Structure 1
Amino acid sequence: MRHLLSIRDLTAGDLEWILAASEQPYPRILEGKGVALYFEKPSARTRNSMELAVAQLGGHPVYLQPAELGIGSRESVADVTHTLACYHAIIAGRVFDHGLLEEMARVNAAPVLNMLSGTDHPLQALADLLTVKQLLGRLKGVKVAFIGEGNNVSRSLAEACELVGAEFTIASPEGHGLGNAPDVRQVIDPAEAVEGAEIVYTDVWVSMGGEDNEERRSLFEPYQVDEALMALAPNARFLHCLPARRGEEVTAPVIDGPRSAVWRQAENRMHTARGAMLWILEG
């Protein structure tokens, strides 16, 4: 039984398999089967991409919220997992605590797929790499600059870049990078990060559930991706996992301009979700 909780669950071959499957005609492998979609955090892209991906594979997505399952309060994690496995081919979760997904996976009653956790966002990284491959025609050697916080999005993207041989650099304020990640190039200066970059990527300064205050905004203000920063990487394309706050982490001329590929990136969430589920079931 395969689980996909983080990019670390994949080999380079697995990742390449998922990206290839994401662009191929898809089999109705979930015909007559359900997929549980458990959401502790709301999301426009994750819910829509996952529900459509399940439907494209012939399955029936079931949207679930915490009050319906009572995980850890009304019922134990193991009991909920076993119950969902009675009905569903895959259990997918978008959760705060990554440990919950790990506990569900240990039950081993059904494959578990991480739609987002506090530490990892593998589905976003898969969509990101598919987008880069479509834009540039390759992944190996591509220079990716992430401007902003070391979070679940940047961590998963860094791990995915390492698997495919892309060069990943993150620029963050002191103490807000990816910590002790020995294989990740981390810098303070955004201008240094984007030098020679082919992809410039950013995310919101305040993630869902994070602390939102003026001190934090002031800290991240020098990390705004604007036209001046993009001019330092004249051949780069712009990516953002969305939702975006124009005027904060990115300016409108950048995200809405001709070098932005955010809508292709958003669409690819559906294609790579399909590829990830195919890998879980038959890859």
Structure 2
Amino acid sequence: MNRPDLLSLADLTRADIEAILALSEGDAGKPLSGKGVALFFQKPSARTRNSMEMAAVQLGGHPIYIQKDELGPGTRESVEDVARTLACYHAIIAARVNDHRLLSGMAAATDTPVLNMLSDTDHPLQGLADLLTIRQLLGRLEGAKIAYVGDANNVARSLAEGCALMGAKLTLASPEGYGFSAAELARLGTVRQVVDPVEAVEGAQIVYTDVWVSMGQDGEAAERQRAFAAYQVDEALMARSADAYFLHCLPAIRGQEVSAGVMDSSRSAVWRQAENRMHTARGAMAWIMGQGR
């Protein structure tokens, strides 16, 4: 069976996501028994490394953590040669990168499946964890009402793609200049975009946010903090939807994008969401290896 890459949730169908979520909550077996999983990190991460290493072990595999200076794709060696080398040893090549084109280059160079652990445009593993968490909290994805307050970044994009595929209703609230383009909104179809965070949150069952300044955007920090000053998810905003759960992909900065009162409240499901990173990583890798397909 041909093993697929997983670079973006847009690569998947609704049936694919259903299969991955089922594997995330069920017995995925040991499809990686005796096999290696390369985990290449250009960017560090607590949740991604821990969840991926544990998921690989649970599937019977052996994860190998690789730091950016150990490979140097595009500098020390070509991207294609790096991918072909890793393919000699591993059943899956997973990478967390600055530029999505690096992942595309790896995928084009080898038949070994490439899994996106994060790029500048997409975060599919986070999106899968978000979908699983929402389904667990609400009992369904079809028709779920979700508000995302903040930057239309890689996390928002993967969430939007997943919601569009699964029939959930996502409204994104961003300042002017920080939302999705008209072309991207047209591609996403059912996703709605507004400027007013109150409008997005009213009637929502899930309220989601992320940091205002992502890794690599330090030079824009002051400008972004001014732009997003009115977009903090605090108690007053959460009160616009009395029964909503709060989600955050972490790390969170209390006092900026979220108040401590919301982050640490009984309505916060961020730790379930963080745990689900491991479960959906397991489901995604099992699916890549042919389970559930």
Q: TM-score, normalised by structure 1?
A: 0.98
Q: Distance in 1 between matches of 2:76 and 2:112?
A: 21
Give, in whole Å, the separation in 1 of the partners of 2:96 and 2:81: 19
Distance 1:270 1:215 in 2: 34
Query: What are structure 1's unaligned runs of at least 5 residues?
Result: none
Structure 1 CA distance, aligned partners of 2:101 and 2:273? Answer: 28
SS in structure 2 of the partner of residue 36 of structure 1: strand
Looking at structure 2, the residues matched to 23 and 85 of structure 1 have their Cα atoms a distance apart, in angstroms, of: 29
1:36 is matched by which residue type in structure 2?
A
Q: What RMSD in Å do the two structures reach over aligned CA positions? A: 0.8
SS at match of 1:96: coil
CA distance in 2, matches of 1:69, 1:221: 39
Is the contact made by 2:87 and 2:110 (CA closer than 8 Å) also made in structure 1?
A: no
AA aligned to 2:230 is P
CA distance in 1, matches of 2:72, 2:261: 44
Moved over 3 A (4+): none
Work out the CA distance in 2 between the residues paired with 1:31 and 1:59. Answer: 5
- Whether the 8 Å contact between 2:99 and 2:119 is mirrored in structure 1 is yes
Quote the offset at 1:26 in angstroms: 2.6
Q: Secondary structure at the match of 2:257?
A: coil
Residue identity over aligned pairs, in percent, reads 66
Equivalence for 1:86:
88
Q: Does 1:188 align with 2:190?
A: no
Structure 2 equivalent of residue 11 of structure 1 = 13
User: What are the within-5 Å matches in structure 2 for residues 153-172 of structure 1?
Assistant: 153-172=155-174
Please name the residue that 1:277 is paired with. 285
Supply the distance in 2 between the matched residues of 1:187 and 1:102 (Cα, whole angstroms): 32
The answer to whether 1:238 aligns with 2:260 is: no
Q: 1:81·1:109 contact (CA, 8 Å) conserved in 2?
A: no
Identify the residue that residue 75 of structure 1 maps to in structure 2: 77
Q: Tell me how far apart the structure 2 counterparts of residues 257 and 163 of structure 1 sit (CA, whole Å).
A: 30
The alpha-carbon deviation at position 213 of structure 1 amounts to: 3.0
Worse overlay, 272-281 or 206-215: 206-215
5+ residue gaps, structure 2 = none
CA distance in 1, matches of 2:48, 2:286: 17
The structure 1 residue matched to 2:213, chosen from 196, 206, 209, is 206
Aligned to 2:108: 106
**Aligned-partner Cα distance in 2 for 1:124–1:3:** 16
Q: Report the equivalent of 1:250.
A: 258
Structure 1 SS opposite 2:39: strand
Q: Is the partner of 1:74 in helix, strand or coil?
A: coil
- Structure 2 counterparts to residues 41-52 of structure 1, below 5 A: 41-52=43-54
Aligned residues between the structures: 283
